[in-house]
Chain A
């Protein structure tokens, strides 16, 4: 059974810092991995999708990497801004199961 863990559970940093969010998964047989952002009381916004054959994806100030063999992904946020404050969710597309398995999320606060 696939399990996804995100560390840390919460993170608070001053504005302008570069930061890394971590995600690990127990079964390396995955279709893909997706990072989402969730604002309080809102839905999920897709940030980046990495296919199992890819090593990384970039979008603006965000960069996500995938190391299937070690069961890890990282989300790198450059030059953080207060508007980046949200909960960041990592989700693994389970091979053959056609569903996403989510981590518990990292609650990020960027202080002005």
Chain B
């Protein structure tokens, strides 16, 4: 049973470009969470999704950021018109239910140049 798979592991984008980060949850997990870790800061919740639904997006910046978890395929975190301040590690986690253990992927390290 593969763990949570994130790709790419490293992503470099120029200012103004779009970044797409993908996350495939563990098999049997229908709950997906995205977290961001800024340099020298702790992990901050961004968004919680179930299949085809955004449940809680209270941690998402109001502009340029969006997330989806379609019926088929991985969850996508999309950042439009990236700025230097978006440079961070983005982690995806999945769980079987909201009460069970959350398993994290290896993260995508986004660098905006």
Contacts of B105 in A (CB 8 A): 43
Which of A14-22, A61-69, A78-86, A100-108 sits within the interface? A100-108
Please count how many residues in chain A sit with their CB below 8 Å of the partner chain's CB atoms: 24
Q: Are A51 and B99 in contact (CB under 8 A)?
A: yes
> Of B13-21, B42-50, B67-75, which binds chain A?
B42-50
A104–B55 Cα distance when bound, in Å, is 25
- B window 91-113: CB within 8 A of A: 91, 93, 98-107, 109
Annotate A34-65 by CB proximity to B: 1 below 8 A, 0 otherwise.
10100001111110010100000000000000
- With both chains docked as a complex, state the minimum distance between the C-beta of B48 and any C-beta of chain A, in angstroms: 6
Given A31-B98, A100-B33, A105-B42, A36 and B55 contact (CB-CB distance below 8 Å): no
Chain A residues closer than 8 Å to B55, beta-carbon distance: 98
B52 close to chain A: CB less than 8 A = no
Residues of A within 8 A of B48 (CB): 98-99
**B6 nearest in chain A by CB position:** A43
How large, as a class, is the contact surface on chain B?
Answer: 20 to 34
Is B45 a contact of A42 with CB atoms below 8 Å?
no
Closest to B3 in A: A43
- B56/A99 in contact, CB under 8 A: yes
Does A28 make an interface contact (CB < 8 A)? Answer: no
Knowing A44-B91, A98-B55, A98-B56, the reply to whether A103 touches B42 (Cβ < 8 A) is: yes
- Complex formed: what's the CA distance from A102 to B104 in Å? 13
Establish whether residues B91 and A43, one from each chain, have CB atoms under 8 Å apart when the complex forms.
yes
- Alpha-carbon gap, A46 to B98, bound state (A): 15
Binding site for A on B (CB under 8 A): 31, 33, 35, 41-45, 48, 55-56, 58-59, 91, 93, 98-107, 109
Given A46-B104, A93-B98, 11 additional A-B pairs, CB 8 A: A32-B99, A41-B109, A43-B104, A43-B105, A43-B107, A45-B104, A49-B100, A97-B58, A98-B48, A100-B43, A100-B93
